[in-house]
Amino acid sequence: MTHPRRSGPFDDPFFVAACLLVALMMIGLSLARYYGYNAGMLDLGVMSQAIWSGTQGKPLLQTAPDMGPRSRLAVHVELIYFALVPLYALWSSPQALLVAQGLLFVAGALPAYRLALRSTESILAARCMALIYLLYPVAQTAVLFDFHGDTLAMPLLLFALDAADRRDWRSFGLWSALALSCKMYIALPIAGIGAYLFLWGGQRRAGLITAAAGLIYGALAFLVVREIFKTPGLAGSAAGSYISHYFGAYREISSTALVRALNVAIIFGPALILARRGWRWLLVGSPLALAALLSTGPGGSYYYYYHHYAAVVPFIVMAVVDGAGRMRERSLSNDQRPTTNDQELAADKRSSFVVRRSSSQRTWRGDLIFTTLIVFISSALLVNTPLSPFFWQGSPGKGFDSTAYGSTSRDRVKDAFLAEYVTPQAAVAASMFLATHIANRETLYVVRYSDDSGGERLPRILPLVDMVVADALFDWRVVSGEKVLGKIDYEAAEIKELLGDPSFALRAERDGLLLFTRGDDGLRQEITALDAAELPPMSADFGPVQLLGAQVTAMGGRRYLAEFEWQLKGAPPTSRLVAISQFDGIPDARIVHLPSYVLLPTDQWQPGQVIRERFEIELPAEVAPGSYTWRTGWYDPAQSEAYATDQRSRLPGSVDVAITTIDVGQ
């Protein structure tokens, strides 16, 4: 009988090409998401800040919203982050973490390939297993969703399983320890591997040691390490707060039962044809999957497109390998009596916990190829990558749309604004998706957290920071079903709080990006209600709002004072509207009329009142000298595309109106 030549995976050009292509795809998309300001402080920014703190000799500290400095060792006990400190010291950017995560993920194809090759003696099967791992939907979504310890654990667990299959217990211990260090709950699958070895793998001693090590480590991490590093003054135990945070709202489970069930199908379904035959391995990964499925943590943490199922993938891979081996053995049971060579392979099988025989049978090969095809199709349908036909349609939330992996010219304005104004050592509160790009600092809060209804936390945060970077044209959007959900006034309550706080002054504004620092003498923002108009008359109709008068006065240098008088036509609108001014020939330099936007919004105006707003602006140095037409229009922030302030969100029947011409000198 002829067997394939014994060679390493790197001698297989198909394997090498698949790994390179997937690495380029996953790393490229992760970086594109970061460049496009679609990776938030939760969680990429948090992990970056924690690892940066390690470069400063601190125990992985992040800034928690209601606690201040908090160690990751008091949260998920991600000791593996210490190993990334040298890398972050060399390349102090979240980009370094995304690249490292992508490379480590792709490295997991190596043990998947070797496990299948030893089990089946088939290069075709090894290639299929590598592809199943690289393309598995919940593996890819984990890599593409920020940076997390359980995503790092995914390939490390596969290396541990490969070492156990080879009976290389030293390597197994090393890989298992690394996997455990990724997150405390990796103790569950490690203990599960031990149970498999004890019950079905013929390695009772190794299994007992592994299960005990996993359980003991998990208990120490959860009950002792987290307690040691918990934030001083935290009420109750660290263990109790963790359970209440992730599982406390258990009544929500019944209302989302169907969605959770669909997630089960997405997690296990693509590989189930063969994985069900290796059900013992599915049992090993099921406790972790079950915990995530029953979680009631913030943001729908049970959804498949987050990272919580990454550590289940190695056991789905093992179940497929085992299932294919069992199918082969069952097929061989009807063949002729074993030859000498078959007897040697049968003896080899007894020394390993993955079923292996040396023959090729159409049934198991066909099922493995079909499983690979299903995984590929599932990935194309469920994951936003170039392998998906939806990626190339240009629809919202797909491909290089700005809600996914695309960038806008405003994103480059954000880069320049943060680089110019945010100093390295300052204690900062920043808009959620700006904060990720300035994470290398001891104190970094978010202007508005996702569980904040608006304006709740910021008053408690302001005494703790030196500057605040807010976004008056909050342009992050999310696709839900067929709808694009966006809200440019997401931080309106916080901006109003800042404008009213005497300790802070508005220092700079660029295209809706606002910098507040401590002190006075900032850019004035005022609004009053009058009985009659006082400014030079100017009439323009913006639907429910009418312009009565306007003037713009040069104040020296590049600073100007703008004054507008408005009046409602009819009843007040049901929600705030926003006036935006911009200059012909100056891109990405829109001016948000903050007084009428947040200090006294249009839904609070009264019929007959004359509303006078006065605000100062200072044009950035990159605006070339010359004459520019000042234009003003009114827009509806409730429109999902309002961030663009174009015809999609402009008030019906209105146009942008030329107000005046300003001269910008040298």
Q: What is the DSSP string of 284-322?
A: HHHHHHHHHHT---TTTTTSTTSSTTGGGHHHHHHHHHH
Mean per-residue pLDDT, 18-33: 99
Q: Is residue 548 in some structural domain?
A: yes
Write the CB contacts of 366 (distance below 8 Å, at least 6 apart in sequence). Answer: none
Residue 520 has a pLDDT of 81
Confidence at 3, pLDDT banded by 50, 70, 90:
very low
Domain end position, chosen among 518, 550, 585: 518
Neighbours of 378 (CB within 10 A): 19
- In angstroms, the Cα distances linking 649 to 192, 568, 606, 633, 638 are 54, 19, 24, 10, 8
pLDDT digits over 143-201, tens only?
999 999 999 999 999 999 999 999 999 999 999 999 999 999 999 999 999 999 999 99
Task: Confirm whether 552 is domain-assigned.
Answer: yes
- Is the pLDDT at 357 greater than 80? The verdict is no
- Residues 60 and 54: their CA atoms lie apart, in Å, by 5
- In this model, does residue 407 exceed pLDDT 90? yes
Residues 459 and 512 in one domain: yes
- Average pLDDT across the chain, whole number: 93
* Confidence band of 334 (pLDDT split at 50, 70, 90): low
Query: What interhelical angle do 123-135 and 313-332 show, nearest 10?
Result: 150
Q: Are residues 529 and 643 in the same domain?
A: yes
The strands making up 513-518's β-sheet, listed across from edge to edge, are 444-446, 428-430, 467-471, 513-518, 504-510
CB-side neighbour CA atoms (13 Å) of 387: 22
For residues 299 and 134, is the Cβ–Cβ distance under 8 A? no
Give yes or no: residues 512 and 529 share one domain.
no
Q: What is the pLDDT of residues 81-139, one digit of tens each?
A: 999 999 999 999 999 999 999 999 999 999 999 999 999 999 999 999 999 999 999 99
Residue 554 lies in a domain: yes
The pLDDT of residue 179 is 99
Kindly tell me if the per-residue pLDDT of 140 is higher than 60.
yes
| Same domain? 579 vs 502 | no
- CA-based nearest residue to 128, from 136, 176, 74: 136
Closest of 390, 470, 445, 356 to residue 125, by C-alpha: 356
Question: Does 540 lie in the same domain as 509?
Answer: no
Alpha-carbon span 602 to 17, nearest angstrom: 59
Residue 430 lies in a domain: yes
- Condensed to tens digits (0 to 9), the pLDDT of residues 554-572 reads 999 899 999 999 999 988 9
Q: What is the pLDDT of residues 566-619, one digit of tens each?
A: 999 988 999 999 999 999 999 999 999 999 999 999 999 999 899 999 999 999
* Mean pLDDT score, 332-349: 53
Residue 563 sits in the same domain as residue 652: yes
Residue 302 lies in a domain: no
Residue 115 lies in a domain: no
Contact 656, 633 (CB under 8 A): yes
Cα–Cα distance measured from residue 205 to residue 208, given in angstroms and rounded to the nearest whole number: 5
How far from the centroid of its chain's Cα atoms is residue 366's Cα?
A: 37
Distances (CA, A) of 464 to 65, 203, 503, 518: 11, 56, 12, 11
Residue 424, token pair as written in the block: 């390295």
Task: Please tell me whether residues 433 and 505 are part of one structural domain.
Answer: yes
Peptide bond into 66 cis (omega under 30): no
Q: Same structural domain for residues 514 and 541?
A: no
User: Residue 513's domain spans which residues?
Assistant: 409-518
d(CA 358, CA 368): 16
Last residue of a domain, one of 518, 546, 577: 518
Count: domains in the chain = 2
Tokens 């009843």 locate to 571
pLDDT in tens, 611-665: 999 999 999 888 999 999 999 999 999 998 899 999 999 999 999 999 999 999 8
Q: Is residue 495 part of a domain?
A: yes
Domain co-membership, 530 together with 570: yes
Tens of pLDDT, residues 476-497: 988 776 666 778 999 999 999 9
Please report the beta strands in 555-604, taking only residues with DSSP state E, as ranges in sequence order.
559-568, 578-583, 591-592
pLDDT at residue 359, rounded to an integer: 44
Report residue 228 as tokens. 């040691």
The reported pTM is 0.93
SS (H, E, C) 77-99: CCCHHHHCHHHHHHCCCHHHHHH
Smallest CA-to-CA distance from 113 within 35, 252, 15 is with 15
Type of residue found at 548: L
CB 142 within 8 A of CB 310: yes
Q: Both 550 and 640 in a single domain?
A: yes
Q: What's 648's domain CATH number?
A: 2.60.40.10
Q: Is residue 529 assigned to a domain?
A: yes
Residues facing residue 657 across a β-bridge: 632
Query: What is the per-residue DSSP string for 222-265?
Result: IIIIHHHHSPTT-SS-HHHHHHHHHHS-TTHHHHTHHHHHHHHH
Beta-carbon count within 10 A of 83 CB: 15
DSSP state, residue 338: P
At residue 297, the pLDDT reads 86
Boundary residue ending a domain (494, 518, 542): 518
Domain shared by 540 and 487, yes or no: no
Whether 585 and 504 map to the same domain: the answer is no
The pair of three-digit structure tokens given for residue 465, joined into one six-digit string: 């920071």
Please say whether the beta carbons of 149 and 37 come within 8 A: no
**Helix/strand/coil (H/E/C) assignment for every residue in 417-455:** HHHHHCCCCCCEEECHHHHHHHCCCCCEEECCCCCCCCC
Cβ 278 vs Cβ 323: under 8 Å: yes
Angle at CA of residue 104, ends 98 and 110, nearest 5°: 150
